[in-house]
Structure 1
């Protein structure tokens, strides 16, 4: 599966997290320590916020370790809120449109995990989207589709509720297809103001998630620590919803919306 890192705080150079640390995201792209696969070479991406409401976006299909442009950008770009992702595909071609993060207006989203039995429920989930949201579909991944489900469920006004209801739609579609629901969802997303993250799985093996303070009062949320000898990393428990703002961090319980699951026979 994938590795990712996100930051919120005073503006820092992207390299401080993505390329410079001893176990940076680029190091994790070829030598992850807490992932199912140590190699995450199926593309990478960055989304960062600056003076405009919409994030900048840079994605490519090269392995992160082999793209000199990525290192150059990270040395020059400063941001107070950014998301970075290295991909290990669990489905979907290696294409730029399938690389994370995905963006929609001011929102950015990235994911580590997968929807089990995706090909059996993909059509039903796509058909459940409103026309306006479906028209945003560019790639073929389950991750992008889950992001669109969140948008369809009111992401702009209710972030936690949108993820909860989107999760419920996936589980309900699995039930209707006659397959055991299987979802691994460790994700981060932002509107340029707050940074949210979720750690959830339908089994006991939710992909890892950590937070830590960064210098100047900033905070990171990551798939795995990028500097194990520096900083105090807090493991986020499964079934958690994290929100980071300039005022602090909250961690709340997370579960699928029960009102939709109740209609499943």
Structure 2
């Protein structure tokens, strides 16, 4: 469910990454090639990007399908950035969240996206949610599973965890409480991408020293795309990509 990507590299128009490639995120909203769960990602979309000399990203999110938003098409044509995150959404279940439920979620310098679904939501995470500070729960942008997973990640970041550690801890917590969940997460701070492959596809394409893209699936047929093994934590910058195994929920 859902498709997402994060990009770090030379400054480029948002549309060059999100909508121009032959199998772009725009195309994946109605015709994903490697999505095993769900078929159409039309329950909202969003993009977050960083401007030069400003560490806090801007966002544009909507509740409808990306293909019907001509304002976004115009924005994506002219706005340029060297770091962005974008997602198209297939909601776990129907809700009234609207654009508030669409990734990327944000706080401070961070952008976050969840590709997947929490099993037996919301009952499965009742105890996990109760472990968060009340202020964190009251600050949730939406009542969907992705918003709560983001709250778990953000809580870890505020405690001082490194980005990769925060993602890994959230995945292990949710997987233990809700076995069978799909938890492909993306986290971006403008210079580093952290991601998890847990139950769904994840790929990356790196041009060391210049650019890196991490995505649910390749947006073109370039042979340099590499699939990330399931149960893997990825950390990427413009110069390096590091892969390490994630613990099983029973470990």
Give the TM-score of the pair, scaled to structure 1. 0.86
Specify whether residues 172 and 222 from structure 1 end up closer, same or farther in structure 2 by C-alpha distance, changes over 3 A only. Answer: closer
Q: 1:128-155: per-residue Cα shift (whole Å, max 9, x none)?
A: 1113322321201111111111122236
- Misfit runs of 4+, over 6 Å: none
1:74 corresponds to which of 73, 76, 82: 76
Task: Give the 3 Å change call, closer, same or farther, for CA 195–171 of structure 1 in structure 2.
Answer: closer
Per the alignment, residue 137 of structure 1 pairs with: 140
Q: Which residue of 2 aligns with 1:108?
A: 111
Describe the shift of the 1:85–1:235 C-alpha distance in structure 2 as closer, same or farther (beyond 3 A): same
Q: Deviations over 1:186-221 (max 9, x none)?
A: 121112221111101xxxxx2111111359821111
1:11 is paired with a residue whose SS is: strand
Q: CA deviation at 1:89?
A: 1.0
Offset from partner CA, 1:6-48 (integer Å, 9 cap, x none): 1011211111111111111111101111112231111100011
Aligned-CA RMSD value:
2.0
The 3 A distance-change label for structure 1 pair 159 and 216 is closer
- Count of residues in correspondence between the two structures: 247
Contact 1:92–1:140 (8 Å) recurs in 2 = no
1:117–1:182 Cα contact (<8 Å) kept? no
| Residue matched to 2:165 | 161
| The one of 217, 220, 237 aligned to 2:229 | 237
Deviation at 1:77, TM superposition (A): 1.1
Q: Quick check: 1:212–1:221 contact (8 Å CA) kept in 2?
A: yes
Q: Specify whether residues 215 and 41 from structure 1 end up closer, same or farther in structure 2 by C-alpha distance, changes over 3 A only.
A: farther
SS at match of 1:31: coil
Q: 1:143/1:116 Cα in 2 relative to 1: closer, same or farther (>3 Å)?
A: same
Equivalents in 1 of 2:164, 2:31: separation in Å?
Answer: 32
CA spacing shift, 1:44–1:255, aligned 2, 3 Å:
same
Equivalent residue number for residue 203 of structure 1: none
* Aligned counterpart, 1:199: 197
Give the deviation of 1:241 after TM superposition: 1.0
CA contact (8 A) 1:28 1:38 kept: no
List gaps (5 residues or longer) in structure 1. 175-180, 201-205
Structure 2 unaligned regions, length at least 5: none
Which of the pair has more CA radius of gyration? 1
**Other-structure match for 1:88:** 90
CA distance in 2, matches of 1:103, 1:64: 19
Is the CA contact (8 Å cut-off) linking 2:205 and 2:214 kept in structure 1? Answer: yes
Native 8 Å contact 1:45 1:84 kept in 2: yes
The 2-side partners of 1:123 and 1:253 are apart by 27
- How high is the TM-score relative to the length of structure 2? 0.91
Measured after TM superposition, the shift of residue 124 of structure 1 is 2.3
The aligned counterpart of 2:25 is 25
